[in-house]
Amino acid sequence: MVVCVCNGIRERDVRQAARGGASSACQAYKTLGLAAKCGQCVPFAREIIREERAAA
Per residue in 11-26, pLDDT tens? 999 999 999 999 999 9
Query: Taking the mean position of all CA atoms in its chain, how far away is CA 46?
Result: 7
Percent of the chain with pLDDT over 70: 100
Task: Report the distance separating Cα 29 and Cα 50, nearest Å.
Answer: 15
Q: Report how far residue 53's alpha carbon sits from residue 33's, in angstroms, rounded to the nearest whole number.
A: 21
Q: For residue 42, count other CB atoms closer than 10 A to its CB.
A: 17
Specify the number of domains making up the chain.
1
Output the domain CATH number for residue 15.
Answer: 1.10.10.1100
Q: pTM of the entire structure?
A: 0.90
Residue range of the domain that includes 37 = 2-55
Query: What is residue 56's predicted lDDT score, i.e. its pLDDT?
Result: 75
